[in-house]
Structure 1
Amino acid sequence: AAGGVLNILTQGAPDTPIEVTPRFVFGSNGLRRFQGKATGKVGRHEYLINFNSFWFDGYRDHAFARSNGINAVGRHTLNDKVQITTVFNYFRAPYQFNPSSLDKTTSDTTPTSARSFVQRQGASKKVTQGQGGITLSYRDDRQSADVTVFGMGRTLFNPIPGRIIDLKRKGGGVRGVWSRMVRMGQSTFRITGGTDIEFQSDDRQEFSNGGIPNSEVGKLNNERVFSVLTVGAQELNQHEQVLGIGPFFEVEWSPRPDMILTAGGRYDRYRFKVDDKFLSDGTDDSGSRTMNQFSPMVGVTYKPRPYVALYGVFSTSFQTPTTNELSNQPAQEGGFNPNLNPERLRGFE
């Protein structure tokens, strides 16, 4: 955009075969974090592996947490123009207790407490997630191109007050982007175009929450909370699918060295589909929704001095509800909420 860009890059490897960095963090309320990083470069190959293990008792009651994670990045340079990057991430939280909210009076007098109802409902979650991707990149003096393929899987077991959510998710997609610099006399153009294609598939079940035995309230501090929890009658069973496509383009024109004019746009189209598998309630809430929008932007940057930049940009954006939000019906029936619409924004900077 005319105002700049947030560019987040993964740490590069040092010019050594291996460099190992351990890290240990200890804090109040039972905080412990052990981390280790190994990175290096061998010929045209670079790698970075990072793992961490986390424990936390929490400032409040019913706030215990435990997790493990590993991240890995590998790069292989084929030649001076082409590079392949692979990324993998795995995360597992065997338990994350949820102390929930407090009213103002209680938060002032006993801020470390958790409501007894929340504790009796075993409010918590356990999560396992893995994701990975591979990117093929090309660079030369005038143009660049990237193609990325990625996939992910996630399981979630989430007791909340009144309900238990059991979710299994798969997803993935492809992203391609191409950019080229063109000079015409004293003017310079940069043309960028690409598209995102993504899919998501969820198997969602929900059950009534029978809670944990009164004798266990205040005594649980690990994954045992899930074994003593009473899973009640099934209330929801549906398969949710999302397919999205988003082509985009941007043109930067520099009519003179101290000025850049920018214009671009993106068209998003998402199709949400739900298949209701819980038909014993007498209704079939299967259905689909389509959400789409074209989002343009224009901007200008002027640099009267090398260290001074004046800019203005008008932009629009579009964001759909998540499947979690769409499936959260006011009357707790199945299907998707027909009254929940996308977020559409206009902004000037």
Structure 2
Amino acid sequence: MKFTYIVSSILLIFSTLSGTHLYAQTTITGRVVDPTNSQPIAGASLLITGTSRGTTANDKGQFELSASEGDQLQVSAIGYQPQTVKIKATTRSLTIELESSNIDLNEVIVSGYSTPQTIQRTAGAVGLVTSRDIQRTSGIHLQNFVNLIPGVKVEMRTVAAGNRIVIRGYGNQTNFNGVGYKAYLNDIPLTDGDGTTFLDDVDFTNLSRVEIIKGPASSSYGNSLGGVVNFYTERAPIGKTSVSQQVLAGSYGLFRTNTSIKTGSDNTSLNINYGHQKYDGFRLHGTSKKDFLNITSDTYLSQKRSMSVFVGYTNSYDLLSGQVDSLNLIAHPDTAEVAYLANNASIKTESARAGISHNYQFTDRFSNKTTVFVGGQIIDQPFAAGVNKTNKFKFGGRTMFTYMNDASALKPTFSIGAEFLKNFNYAKGYGLSNGILGALRSDLEIQAMQYNVFAQAALQLAPRLTVSAGAGLNYVEYGITDMRASTTTPAYVNASGYKRFEPVLTPRAAVSYQATDNVSFYASVSQGYSAPATNQVVIAQTGVVNYNLRPETGTSYEIGSKGSLLTKALTYEIAYFSMAVTDKLIPQNFPATPTSPAYTLTSNAGNVQHNGLELAVQYAFRPTTGAISLFRPFVSYTYSDFYYKDYKSDNNGNAKTINYTGKKESGIAPNLLNAGFDLEVRPGFYLNGTLMYVDKMPITLANDHFAKAYTLVNGKVGYRSALGSHFSLDVYVGSDNMLSSTYSSLIFLNLPNPANNRPLFFNPAPKITFYSGAMLKYTF
């Protein structure tokens, strides 16, 4: 007993003096995954800090190693941000989520094709924005980080609302919201059943990643002509609990707070974020107020099952200033349109959505992912000549079954699935003049429904050659019930009816060649479509329903290459595409008359040719010694040769029909250039800078009005560091439009020419602005 006591005492003293803990080692099993798609990150490295003990995740992302309580497990993978996980006494099974980095982007796993795979091995153009890219800005304005992707341009009607995304020329077909592409938030459709995408209820400051599939390249999302935008919210790190508070203030009364609680066990994470935002805006009648609540949860129920839940609520109120002409864009950009002031024009939105996604790995080769969701919106929108009140309720789901067989020589992959989305919209329109409510103009119950079935497959015909093919069958239906009593207006024609568009088959085929381990080439041909949106089918100002519209269709040919050079320090992506679009939807704008308000009538009257070149290059210099830890310059360039191939003002074919064939497509700048750099210094200081050049572009069908070219320069400097073992701090100052360029953040296209030859095209953006902020986080 005395000997045992002496040995125990010696061991205790030695343990105390050496600062180590003698815990029994336990075998821990687990996996490393990408949190946005639950896909395994093969080859991830795991190392216990201060030791030589470690392992590498297999092709399923699975690992096994021995560890003790209190060990710090460092996990890293190319293309992802490293993470440190503390081993607990109860840890036996562990799931580790790695967030994508903005370095080595070609190694990041993305979804949308036959199976999730890295960007480099994807036979199509994919743009990616990571959390590090978002942190380069204030995070409030989507265009400041998404516009760095070639072929993509975000436009914004006000200082904090009215976002529309233009992808390869698609998205600006209407002056409100976006059409021609589909958008998702954590796999929940943001795009309505009528094809309209409304983004005012998305909290961009809570995003961790944005994936953009450019062009009709993904059968699993319906082959929209513009493409697909996938938004993903922040996740809580596995195995950590933290509370953080962020405060940001800036020019023109900008004030933003984010309060976040994140907690994660070995296999479960929960992130709750509340955001409050206020912005006076630089224009008269331009105030914005927003409140966001987002809840995101990931649970890994077993090695085969995982589940993600998202719940979001938004309450926003944005005043509208209206548009100005070309003279006031320069002389008085801070003014507001008189009619907007008289009617207190605004957009008041209350929105809620919830969705749940379930992943199940039936076998090593066969899996399924299913998402169901429900949501609703209440929108109250007074404008210059009336007021629209809309209540929306939507629901739906999507499911995809995937088969992969890496053991076979051909390595076949196959996926099949379906998506369903239905909207119930109750929309009323009233006259409004000088704030006095007028007569009922429209009272419609609109049931818009989209659904599609799809299949995709890929075979590796040779060690470096893969062919893939897919197809989607897409359905769009409208059921419209006109609730206006025809007896109140004898001349009124009831607009009730039902429209089911002919099903659209959208095939796609692609071939990719892996020239080396780090360089690939691809070619693809695909067909896509864009269905008319509700605001194109229903003319709310006049209460008329346009049942004669057809979906736009197009065939896209694309070639490209992606790769990493100089030991993966230099990465590039280049793509050339050519897409012919038929049945182009043409908006015809009619001015107000004494008996009728201004309205827009849409018709299928055009064929358009889109030819484009996209290039992105970045270089990451990461010295292992010295003060600088990272210097990352980057540049992207977009060339767009878009023109009207056979395009007329209408399809009447009479003396009033105007032929625009050969004219450049309005709203598309022929040249876009983005450049920037990230600089990080080891004590914690960082500096970010970006430049965006937008070329002169036509803004009318006849090409008789143009928006001038402009250049935007943004910058941010800050300090980011840990304060002890629990606190971390990030403080920063930044400036947007540092050159005080004059430009319009969104342009109303193809407006009729008034007597003074100065249509109200422009929504002016502010000159130079400043902001500063801080984020303090406590990790338990």
Does residue 1:233 correspond to 2:444, yes or no? no
Q: Which stretch has the larger CA shift, 135-144 or 254-263?
A: 135-144
Aligned to 1:342: 551
Q: Is the 8 A contact 1:84 1:137 kept in 2?
A: yes
Q: Secondary structure at the match of 1:187?
A: coil
Residue 267 of structure 1 is aligned with which of 473, 476, 498?
Answer: 473
Letter in 2 for 1:319: S
- 1:24 alignment partner, one of 247, 256, 262: 247
Structure 2: distance between partners of 1:326 and 1:51: 37
Give unpaired runs (5+ residues) of structure 2. 1-112, 114-122, 128-210, 212-229, 559-780
Tell me the distance in 2 between the aligned counterparts of 1:307 and 1:45.
35
The reply to whether residue 172 of structure 1 matches residue 293 of structure 2 is no
Q: Does 1:104 align with 2:326?
A: yes
In the alignment, does 2:483 pair up with 1:277?
yes
Measure how far apart 1:341 and its partner are. Answer: 2.7
Q: 1:127 to 1:239 in 2, by over 3 A?
A: same
Question: Corresponding residue for 1:57?
Answer: 280
**1:171 CA displacement:** 0.3
1: CA distance between counterparts of 2:413 and 2:249?
Answer: 49
Q: Deviations over 1:52-81 (max 9, x none)?
A: 111011111111110101111112222111
1:212-242 deviation line (CA, Å, top 9, x unaligned): 3xxxxxxxxxxxxxxxxx3222111110002
Please state whether the residue corresponding to 1:119 is helix, strand or coil: helix
1:143 pairs with 2:366: yes
Asked if the contact 2:313/2:353 (under 8 Å) is kept, the reply is: yes
- Corresponding position of 2:499: 289
Asked whether the equivalents of residues 252 and 282 of structure 2 are also in contact (C-alpha less than 8 Å), the reply is yes
Aligned equivalents of 2:254, 2:326: Cα separation in 1: 27
Secondary structure at the residue paired with 1:102?
coil
The 5 A counterparts of 1:241-256 are 241-256=447-462
Deviation of 1:325 after TM superposition, in Å, equals: 2.7
Paired residue for 2:529, among 318, 323, 326? 318
- Give the Cα–Cα distance (whole angstroms) in 2 for the partners of residues 15 and 32 of structure 1: 31
Moved more, 292-301 or 180-189: 180-189
For the residue of structure 2 that corresponds to 1:188, the secondary structure is coil
Task: Look up the equivalent residue of 1:315 and give its one-letter code.
Answer: S
Instruction: State how 1:103-142 maps to structure 2 within 5 Å.
Output: 103-139=325-361, 140-142=363-365
- Offset at residue 17 of structure 1 (A): 4.7
How far is the alpha carbon of 1:185 from its aligned partner? 4.7
1:106: how far off?
1.4
Deviation larger for 133-142 or 53-62:
133-142
Q: Identical aligned pairs, as a percentage?
A: 21
For the 8 Å contact 1:3–1:301, the answer to whether it is kept is no
Distance (Å, rounded) in 2 between the aligned partners of 1:65 and 1:31: 9
**Could you tell me which of 407, 410, 416 is aligned with 1:187?**
410
Distance 1:287 1:81 in 2: 47
Q: Alpha-carbon deviations, 1:15-70, whole Å to 9, x = none?
A: 34521221111110111111122111135321111111110111111111101011
Q: Deviation per CA, 1:262-295, whole angstroms, max 9, x where unpaired? A: 1001111111010000023342210111122010
Q: Contact conserved, 1:144 with 1:180, CA < 8 A, in 2? A: yes
Q: Which amino acid aligns with 1:208?
A: G
> What displacement does 1:4 show?
5.4
| Distance in structure 2 (CA, Å) of the matches to 1:259 and 1:62 | 58
- Which digits, 9 at most, give the CA deviation of each residue in 1:146-180, with x for residues without a partner? 11110101000000111100000000102110110
Aligned-residue Cα RMSD (Å) equals 1.8
Q: Is the 8 A contact 2:239 2:266 kept in 1?
A: no
The residue type equivalent to 2:296 in the other structure is: V
Equivalent in the alignment of 2:464 = 258
> How far apart are residue 184 of structure 1 and its match?
7.5
From 309, 333, 344, the equivalent of 2:543 is 333
Distance 1:28 1:185, change over 3 A: closer
Question: Partners in 1 of 2:514 and 2:240 — Cα distance?
Answer: 44
| 1:42 maps to which of 265, 274, 287 | 265
Distance 2:344 2:235 in 1: 43
- Cα drift, residue 244 of structure 1: 2.1
Q: 1:107 to 1:4 in 2, by over 3 A?
A: closer
Is residue 303 of structure 1 aligned with residue 514 of structure 2? Answer: yes
Change (3 A) 1:343 1:50: farther
Amino acid at match of 1:194: G
2:301 aligned to which of 73, 78, 101: 78
Structure label with greater radius of gyration: 2
Aligned 8 A contact 1:127 1:154 in 2: yes
1: CA distance, partners of 2:437 / 2:268: 50
Q: Which amino acid aligns with 1:320?
A: A
Task: In structure 1, list runs of 5 or more residues that go unmatched.
Answer: 213-229
Contact residue 235 and residue 296 of structure 2 kept, 8 A: no
TM-score (norm 2): 0.41
Change (3 A) 1:306 1:234: same
Cross-structure match for 2:238: 15
C-alpha spacing 1:116/1:42, structure 2 compared with 1 (3 Å): same
